[in-house]
Amino acid sequence: MRREAGGSTQLARMISELGKPADIMASADYKVIDKGLIPAHADWNILFASNQLVLCYTDQSKFAAEINAKNWYEVLARPGVVWGHSDPNLDPCGYRSLMVIQLAEKFHNQPGLYDRLIANRPEANVRPKSVELVSLLKTGNMDYAWEYQSVARQHDLKYIQLDDHINLGNYKFDPFYAQAQVKVTGHAPGTWTTQTGQSSTYGVALVKNAPNRKVAILFLEYLLDPAGGLKILEDMGQPTITPSQVVSDAVLKALPGNLPALVEVKK
Amino acid sequence: MIAVEDVCVQLPGFTLDAVSFRVGASEFFTILGPTGSGKTLILESIAGLVPITSGRILIGGRDMTDLPPERRGIGIVYQDQALFPHLSVARNIRYGLRYWPRAADREEKISQLIQRLNLDHLLDRAIINLSGGERQRVALARALVVAPEILLLDEPLSALDPNFREEIRYLLKSLHHETGITVLMVTHDFAEAHFLATRTAVISAGRIEQVGPVVEVFNRPISPSVATFVGMKNIFEARFENGMARAGPLALPLAGPVDSACRFITLRPEDIRIYSASTGAKENASNSFIGLVTRIDHQGIFCDVWVRSDGLLWQVMLPTSQLMEKNIAEGCEVRLQVPPEKIHVM
Amino acid sequence: MRRIDPFHTLAAVCTLLVVGFIVFPLLEMIRQPTAADLKASLADADVRQAIWLSISTSGTAALISFVFGTPFAYLLARRDFKGKRFIESVVDLPIMIPHPVIGIAILSLAGRQHWIGRVATDLGVRVMGSLTGIVIVLTFVGLPFYINTVKNGIEAIPRRLENVSRSLGATAFGTFRRVTLPLAWRSMIVGMILCMARAVSEFGAVVIVAYHPMTAPVMIYERFTAYGLRYSQPVAVWLIFVCLGLFLMLRWLNPAGRTRA
């Protein structure tokens, strides 16, 4: 089995515009599949996992003994604390980090919180890929960084878990999440698009005209099995949607193989 | 003036071993030896330019072993002069002045020295445009202008054309005479040592072999390597008994008693008398023997005659005119006669 | 008809191949962006800032190399000691270590997980994402070029000149100032230019230690991944011109590649 990793948006474009051969596409943002692949290159989308943002740190971080879910936004504002996130223009985790802060401002009723925290985060603390933040934390070059919970657990980092209202992890709170908006660069320097807050829900789809369709279906059956793939994801720290979901009965009926038995309909 | 005591210098690839000698005040002393024997190393050790592994160096009675070179008051002139290429002749000469106290008549002395060395018309020139002799004179001026107590010369004449060599040779002799400075000169040319120096040391492969007045070293070398170096050509292993030296089948009478440690006899080529075998004075004298001329090398006024006798090869030197008179030619039989007092034992 | 020596033909062919190999990619880089792209790139303050940052940090690295590298190069040129070959190899190490490894190593030393990093942050010295960090990295990669150039330059000066200077009364430092330096300054300039040229082009190590503030190579990479070829090429072209200028200066200062003896 061959695996290719990359930014979801970019990969969807490669399949749809460049005709790159693929059997299965999975994305950290199911909307990428909805917008980019359906209906020309995929018929359906199964939501199978989620993730939430957490604030990671190590025992060498400043104020590590003190920080908790109630005072983190005050600690991050303290002078001398080095905290960062990934580049919003290149990595969804980046703009999601900023959204969490915006939501925290509203949820915890802290006017001006976002501006205060950004003021304490020089550009040097922004990195192109969020995984770089992990090594910065581990070498002690950074005190706090925003990451997905799965990444935090896989790298044995300490982390603060946040309320569902602000952690972008629970799709029930999508209306609340939608209050957050971040401007990111578009296709050319000087152009911008706006990203609106929503939960990180992972989708997986079978690409139309997949060269290895039969085997791909077998793989999906394994992936979506609560005792199989989903369990592995959970063990690795990735919260899953068990059982996995599709948006309508019509979609359920269209699923090939044993897949209908493994999913349920949630509108 | 200079006392070198048991100096050893250990370098990767070469060792100077237990070098000891003395140089008197105002003496002109040479160190003789083949190339690569460590002569330059001795000079640089005395000047403090090379660290010494063990031993002492005393100048004027003061131990200078740990003193940095700039405080020793020793000038050095290298074989290739080592003139500073980025400075003019005048600047080269005046280079060291700023490090020494200023005497009232310093400027006068400097111009005297420059005149004496015939350099006044060259003062503004760049170094590259000078001839060999001019460069050597600039190097001497540069070293002498700071009035050092000791002057070290590293083969000052070898790099010069023969025409300049004689000029500088005379210059060195008269400078030494006029200034009374102590000079230590390194060379591989024995003729220079004869002309310039009173005492000399012979060095070979990092060891001093012999120290003494030039004439004595020249005539009474104490080891085969020194003997070869001073031009003694006929060196043979010999046993000594009953006033005779036996080298191979040959027995030669000696002039005096012999130290039991001696193992060699040696003779200067010009000390052996050679006659055609057909003529031959003093036949059957105990110190003569017959041989065959294998080769004659003509060297102009003199010639070298190689004679083989009983397995030994002798080199004899005589004036070419005598060669004709005595009717000696290649292939003919000759009689060699060895005056006992000329046999040198080692 | 004159016979042409086959060796000269071979040499000519190789010359053409090598020159072509070097020039064609560069020509392509310069040819592709339009004049408008180039102008827009230069007008962008961020681009100018990045190029300036590259030049100033590289220059700083060259100066540091000059100050600390010169005595070391002098030692290597003049003295033999046990382990000299080893030290000389150590000096060459930065040349062959993969660049990201250099960045990672420096970051590991600079973070609070290491005692050096703790001392540094307590003193208020920041390495990650700072000018300090960039200069440290650039000095690391540029030092070998400076040291080797100056070492060769000093070796070319006969030791006897320094010996004579000492015998005339000059101290070791005085000798360096009056004899060695005037004869070796060209190799020091060349060494600094080589160091700077190497530092200007450094990417793999810099991008790990400091993504911001952005040096020119990091910006070229960032623009390429974010916007594509069209927006990164002009920055690359301006950087090439700057580097060309540096090398021309090098050749002008040291015409036949010779140092005065």
User: Domain extents for chain A?
Assistant: 8-50+198-265, 53-167
CB contact under 8 A, A140 and C111: yes
Q: Which amino acid is located at B164 in the chain?
A: F
Q: Is there a domain that residue C31 lies in?
A: no
Q: Is there a domain that residue C260 lies in?
A: no
d(CA A178, CA A185): 19
> Element (H or E) spanning B172, and its range?
helix B162-179
pLDDT tens digit at each of 267 positions of chain A? 788 876 676 677 778 777 788 899 888 778 778 877 888 888 888 888 888 999 999 998 999 999 999 999 999 999 989 999 988 877 788 889 999 999 999 999 999 999 999 999 998 999 888 888 998 999 999 999 999 998 899 899 999 999 989 999 887 888 999 999 998 876 667 788 888 888 888 889 988 888 888 899 999 889 888 888 888 888 887 888 888 888 888 888 888 888 888 888 876
Residues in contact with C152: Cβ distance below 8 Å, sequence separation at least 6, in sequence order:
C77, C187
Q: What is the pLDDT of residue C260?
A: 44
With pLDDT > 70 as the criterion, what percentage of chain A qualifies? 97
Chain C residues lying within 8 Å of B99, measured CB to CB: 168-170, 174
pLDDT digits (tens, 9 = 90+) for C209-238: 999 899 999 999 888 877 777 888 899 898
Q: What is the pLDDT of residue A13?
A: 72
Q: Is C229 on the interface with A (CB under 8 A)?
A: no
Q: Is there a domain that residue C16 lies in?
A: no
Q: What is the pLDDT of residue C146?
A: 97
CATH architecture of B2-224: 3-Layer(aba) Sandwich (3.40)
Chain B residues lying within 8 Å of C165, measured CB to CB: 84, 95
Q: Across the interface, which of A136, A187, A188 has its CB nearest the CB of C128?
A: A136
CB contact under 8 A, C107 and A127: no
A8-50+198-265 and A53-167: identical CATH topology? yes
Q: Is there a domain that residue C109 lies in?
A: yes
Classify the complex by whether its ipTM is higher than 0.90, answering yes or no. no
Total domains in the fold of chain C: 1
**CATH number where C61 lies:** 1.10.3720.10
Q: What is the pLDDT of residue A199?
A: 85
d(CA A25, CA A37): 9
Q: Is there a domain that residue C19 lies in?
A: no
Q: Across the interface, which of A60, A132, A189 has its CB nearest the CB of C112?
A: A60
Q: Smallest CA–CA separation between A29 and chain C, in Å?
A: 19
User: Residue C259 above 50 pLDDT?
Assistant: no
Cβ contacts below 8 Å, chain B against chain C, sum to 70
Q: Across the interface, which of A58, A140, A185 has its CB nearest the CB of C226?
A: A185
Structural domain boundaries in chain B: 2-224, 235-345
Chain C residues lying within 8 Å of A61, measured CB to CB: 112
Contact indicator for B251, B309 with CB cutoff of 8 Å:
no
Chain A residues lying within 8 Å of C204, measured CB to CB: none
In this prediction, the residues of chain B whose per-residue pLDDT falls under 50 are none
Cβ count within 10 A of residue A68: 9
Q: Is there a domain that residue C140 lies in?
A: yes
Class (C level, CATH) for A8-50+198-265: alpha beta
Q: What is the pLDDT of residue B259?
A: 75
Cβ count within 10 A of residue C246: 16
CATH topology for B235-345? OB fold (Dihydrolipoamide Acetyltransferase, E2P) (2.40.50)
CB contact under 8 A, C114 and A141: no
Q: Is there a domain that residue C58 lies in?
A: yes
Q: Are strands A144-148 and B264-267 parallel, antiparallel or unpaired?
A: unpaired
Closest alpha carbon to B328 in B316, B310, B339: B316
Q: What is the pLDDT of residue B284?
A: 58
Chain C residues lying within 8 Å of A190, measured CB to CB: none
The secondary structure of residue B264, as a DSSP letter, is E
At residue C171's C-alpha, the angle toward residues C169 and C175, to 5°, is 95
Q: Which residue in C has a C-alpha nearest to residue A132's C-alpha? A: C208
Chain C residues lying within 8 Å of B85, measured CB to CB: 183, 260-261
The secondary structure of residue A42, as a DSSP letter, is B
Q: What is the pLDDT of residue A84?
A: 94
Q: What single string gives the DSSP state of each residue in B191-228?
A: HHHHHH-SEEEEEETTEEEEEEEHHHHHH--SSHHHHH
- What six digits make up the tokens of B308? 């083989």
CATH code for the structural domain at A53-167: 3.40.190.10
d(CA B343, CA B107): 57
Containing structural domain, residue C235 = 44-253
Contact indicator for B303, B323 with CB cutoff of 8 Å:
yes
CB contact under 8 A, B82 and C169: no
Q: Which amino acid is located at B97 in the chain?
A: L
Cβ count within 10 A of residue A163: 14
Q: Across the interface, which of A58, A89, A124 has its CB nearest the CB of C130?
A: A124
CB contact under 8 A, B49 and C178: no
Q: Is C127 on the interface with A (CB under 8 A)?
A: yes
Residue of C167, C171, C176, C260 to mutate for B, most B C-beta atoms under 10 A? C167
Per-residue pLDDT, averaged over C89-113, amounts to: 92
Which chains have 3+ CB pairs within 8 A of A? C
